[in-house]
Chain A
């Protein structure tokens, strides 16, 4: 029994594919860790209220988001502690909401422009004054379908 028995001549040894799964897994993990669901980073506190009579917001491409809440710690110095509106990545005044909606609407394909929903993601500690201003602006640009985005849960927990 010699350990160095001569291999058969004329045959190229097959390339080992045993490490291929490892490579694929490595890729898989790489993408899993790197992928961020980028949605526009939040600059406001956004703890939504609870509600139980909710409807799901299907079809993400038909939704325009508006965030409202107190600026987070890092923006507190510049924007104060009063609730602010965030559109895309920047803070905005209520009067800018209308333009923003029109701009976003123009970006969508023609057939979707009439079925858009505006999702209001409002922090539960915001006051209604700001929301009323936003609603007024939405009415001005005829964006009448709104969705008050909430967590699913007992609505009475909001009151505590």
Chain B
């Protein structure tokens, strides 16, 4: 074996492979930034078959006027107070013990003149045609936040986890099927404890 003189040349032939590897890696991992937002369901256009009678005390009226002012249950309030108000309303559990609507997990004031149980409580949102979209989104966000806070509380109590995290994991496509199956039940149960009943009436014109 003849010994070569000088430093041996570095073999650069595999550099191309490395570059390709990098190229493919970036191609695969790059995901275009996903959008995020508030999910909502619109009410179907056909009216329900029979008129449902809803007690006035089970409705939490939220009105936004064109100046972005907020009227909640006939009181002028700040948007920053809305979440608290909505939570107090949802969590009230006014039905007396022994009645079918009795809410055992509610921690609210149990005021007989407010909502009976979270299942009955409805938040009705009304807005003016000239309301700014950003105000509307803030209000929506606060209402969704009120539900999420209450659901988080129950999820913490029952499973020691936050509802929002559980739901995110459930919706994550990378979660394995068994975990999903298990989470599905839990998520469903929490959702049933505080069902999201947010009605949006048609906007008023004036």
Residues of A near any B CB (own CB < 8 A): 17-18, 20-21, 23-25, 27-28, 37, 49-60, 63, 117, 119, 121-129, 131-132, 135-136, 138-140, 142-152, 155-156, 158-159
- What chain A residues lie within 8 Å of B191 (beta carbons)? none
- What chain A residues lie within 8 Å of B39 (beta carbons)? 55, 117, 145-147
Check if A144 sits within 8 Å of B41, measured CB to CB: yes
Check if A20 sits within 8 Å of B132, measured CB to CB: no
Check if A58 sits within 8 Å of B34, measured CB to CB: yes
- What chain B residues lie within 8 Å of A125 (beta carbons)? 132-134
Check if A136 sits within 8 Å of B36, measured CB to CB: no
A59, B15: Cα distance in complex, Å: 36
Check if A122 sits within 8 Å of B133, measured CB to CB: yes
Residue contacts A-B, CB under 8 angstroms, 16 given: A23-B16, A51-B137, A53-B141, A57-B34, A58-B34, A58-B173, A60-B34, A126-B132, A131-B133, A138-B42, A139-B45, A145-B42, A147-B38, A148-B37, A155-B137, A155-B142
Check if A139 sits within 8 Å of B44, measured CB to CB: yes
9 closest cross-chain pairs (CB), A and B: A129-B129, A158-B134, A124-B134, A21-B15, A149-B37, A20-B16, A155-B141, A54-B36, A51-B141
Check if B41 sits within 8 Å of A145, measured CB to CB: yes
Beyond A21-B16, A24-B16, whether A124 also contacts B137 by CB under 8 A is yes
B12 within 8 A of A: yes
Check if A57 sits within 8 Å of B133, measured CB to CB: no
Check if A57 sits within 8 Å of B36, measured CB to CB: yes
User: Closest approach, in angstroms, between the C-beta of B128 and any C-beta of chain A?
Assistant: 7
Beyond A24-B20, A51-B137, whether A152 also contacts B129 by CB under 8 A is no
User: Closest approach, in angstroms, between the C-beta of A51 and any C-beta of chain B?
Assistant: 4
